[in-house]
Structure 1
């Protein structure tokens, strides 16, 4: 059978950003709500990049929306591409610097400040592991 344009389904690629937020030698992890995709897993918080937005601007917006904090996006850490079956997530991880705000969980069920050596004790979303590896290597 020949592949034609009609027989090949193309998965959407969703660009997502994650912030590795460091504060006093610890890093913020947020736990996804149970009913969400990958519910109960831990992640470096962030979200989708909207059309016309830079990844850095998207990350700062998402962290304000999800956690009620203001951050400045720092250096790029790593890319991660993860196939979810119906879509492909392209995750870009950045160091993020806390500027102001009090942490409020709008999109997560829990959060923790973990030392770098403790992060591996948490079940991370698969796409976050390359970001963790880059953080460890830095």
Structure 2
């Protein structure tokens, strides 16, 4: 008999500021420890993904955000669980970042994202962000 793995819906915010993107490093002793991610967290039963993202960014970073466009969904089997990650552009409204759930943060350019080792599910979000920026920039020119 096969036991079904937990399926967890998680949201991630891609926060952009002057051409740089906020990434956060997970605590070394956490699941996926030491890896980088776009901050966010689990969607609770009574929440929409957007409500969850704004709540999670407030809890994790002590900032207020507004959720923008959806970038991508990514489903990844980590072995002990299946994570469905929903990535959105997020806009920082107010607050000073406090690290409540991560050991480090970094503001990095689109090209610098390749210099960091991310949680597996985040790579689809990075690809969607690259595609979105390329499309947006081609519309401008």
- TM-score under structure 2 length normalisation: 0.92
Identify the match of residue 53 of structure 2 among 30, 53, 59: 59
Q: Over residues 46-105 of structure 1, what are the superposed CA-to-partner deviations in whole Å (9 max), with x where a residue is unaligned?
A: 000001100000000000000000000010001111112121100000000000000000
CA RMSD of aligned residues (A): 0.6
The structure richer in strand per residue is 1
The alignment partner of 1:63 has SS state of helix
Larger radius of gyration: 1
Identify the match of residue 117 of structure 1 among 108, 111, 118: 111
Residue 67 of structure 2 corresponds to residue 73 of structure 1? yes
Aligned to 2:81: 87
Aligned to 1:18: 12
- Runs of 5+ unmatched residues, structure 1: 1-6
Q: Over residues 81-137 of structure 1, what are the superposed CA-to-partner deviations in whole Å (9 max), with x where a residue is unaligned?
A: 111212110000000000000000000000000011111111111100000000000
The alignment partner of 2:98 has SS state of coil
Residue 90 of structure 2 corresponds to residue 96 of structure 1? yes
Q: Which runs of 4+ in 1 moved over 4 A?
A: none
Residue 124 of structure 2 corresponds to residue 130 of structure 1? yes
Aligned length: 132
Aligned to 2:137: none
Q: How far apart in 1 are the matches of 2:18 and 2:55? A: 23
